[in-house]
A and B are shown apart, each in its own frame.
Chain A
């Protein structure tokens, strides 16, 4: 098996699962009914992508682990998601900005993955690229509305930008495993997507009357399993049934 591909797939799968988990926390509690429908859509897309990615990771590993064993039965240090996606929801401004930052990265990522040398990756990318384009649109429209809405919404939007932007850098970081897969033409080079991310976000921020701050001290650590304090609570919820009733099928 390819250890590098397995690990790089976990980075991707964990990003999607954990972000999907976060946005799913809103279901039934959204600021308006239309968002009670839209946010579960985004959660379904993210979780759906994670399932495809984990299933493939399990195949690549070749030890018979399925999507659920990978999603549910690892220890916190073994999750490789970036810190951005595990950040708590805080408010609707933070949530939409997090979705925008992530999808503005993943859309060009999957676009590039369409020409992967690996057929399964191309298949996953084909579905995900359309979903991410929709997330950019949906979250981007909200960032614009909130940024150029009321005084309060603009203030909240600025706070979200202050708080979340330091976590963006980790999206571009190439782990040794990701680098190996990029060298083999299996997965895209993350570093190469910076310009596209900047352009997408700049275009939206321009309409939202927001400025992208310069980040002197990027927050990194998720890819090496160094998560924040909230991650343990997220995993406690995610894993609860599997841990309390081990070895059963549901």
Chain B
């Protein structure tokens, strides 16, 4: 590969074969790449896109669960849900900071989210009509996020890897908390168990879609694997998730809505694994392209928060400037 690009803020440099090979050698030695290190422009762009999408997913992800904070059925659950949604906002914050080390501002990224230019995880474009969804999201959605993110703790880009270590700890807590919520429902009345089953019926397939298209249809995977941004392919991670999750559903006494799901002892080099039915890729692309049930509502809610908050941000800025001016004036006296 031979290409032109920017390196750092110092100016244009040619990305010669030599440069790329030296960079690849660092990656292969498992050295962490830090913000001021030279890096190919493609590496920087890939990371900005990926970390940005990840940050946006955390922020948009506050909405479907935030939907139940005021209606949580017990004070313990309410506090846990509030803390969870707050954690997701915190994840957004670390991730925006990690992306900022690559030379893009939080404002810029926010504007790209609001304009529809930047994407976020398709999963958050599904509605949360019932309380059971708070359990299912924790169990399946945070569970799928963990599968994706554990390998990112070893991502070649230092700031992203470090952010992921902290995020993963909290995500596993969310996953256990969600599962525990479902246990309560499944130990409860028939109505509660039905509510849990209905929720899994709605979230199972969208959770599998979180891992992205099949490897054969995934456009950026190969280079990302080479640069050790990614460590496992979409299909590998999806398989791990299914194998880990199906027994958990069984323990709950619930089923996953896949008539083709079957244990296959040959899978995973003879360790066994589940064969599963085909994902509805038409639905996946529909949601990714912005036409899921909640896409418009999610962006509208984010825009509203951003636009309604403008006067607050302006005031904070104006106040900080006034204060600084007063301090300068005082110092001059």
Contacts and interface: CB of A to CB of B under 8 A. Distances in A.
B157 to A, nearest CB: 22
Contacts of A29: 66, 301, 304-305, 308
B314 A245 contact: no
Contacts of A50: 75
Contacts of A242: 73
- State which size class the interface on B falls in: 35 or more
Interface in B74-130: 74-79, 82-83, 85-86, 89-90, 92-93, 96, 106
A31 B75 contact: no
Contacts of B301: 28-29
Tell which of A25, A43, A71 has the most Cβ of chain B within 10 Å: A43
Contact of A241 (B63, B73, B83, B89): B73
Contacts of B188: 248-250
B312 A153 contact: yes
Contacts of A71: 75
A230 to B, nearest CB: 13
Contact of A28 (B96, B305, B318): B305
B71 A240 contact: yes
B75 A51 contact: yes
Contact of B71 (A48, A237, A248): A237
Interface in A216-246: 234, 237-238, 240-242, 245
Interface in A61-117: 67-68, 71-72, 91-92
A48 B82 CA distance: 11
B69 A27 contact: yes
A3 to B, nearest CB: 24
B82 A32 contact: no
B77 A149 contact: no
Contacts of A91: 308
Contact of A24 (B70, B185, B315): B70
A59 interface: no
A28 B85 contact: yes
B303 to A, nearest CB: 11
B172 interface: no
A32 B312 contact: yes
Interface string B160-185: 00000000000000000000010011
Contacts of B278: none
A181 B19 CA distance: 77
Given A31-B305, A40-B82, A153-B312, A24 B318 contact: no
Nearest to A93: B312
Contacts of B73: 72, 241-242, 245, 250
Contacts of B24: none
Contacts of B77: 250
A152 to B, nearest CB: 5
A30 B86 CA distance: 12
Contact of B316 (A51, A149, A237): A149
Interface of B: 59, 62-63, 66, 69-79, 82-83, 85-86, 89-90, 92-93, 96, 106, 131, 181, 184-185, 188-189, 191-192, 301, 304-305, 308-316, 318-320, 322
14 contacts: A28-B62, A31-B305, A36-B89, A37-B86, A47-B75, A68-B76, A145-B315, A145-B316, A146-B319, A152-B311, A241-B71, A242-B73, A249-B74, A250-B188
Given A44-B86, A241-B131, 15 more contacts: A24-B69, A27-B85, A32-B313, A33-B96, A36-B62, A37-B93, A41-B86, A91-B308, A92-B312, A148-B322, A152-B315, A249-B188, A250-B73, A250-B74, A250-B77
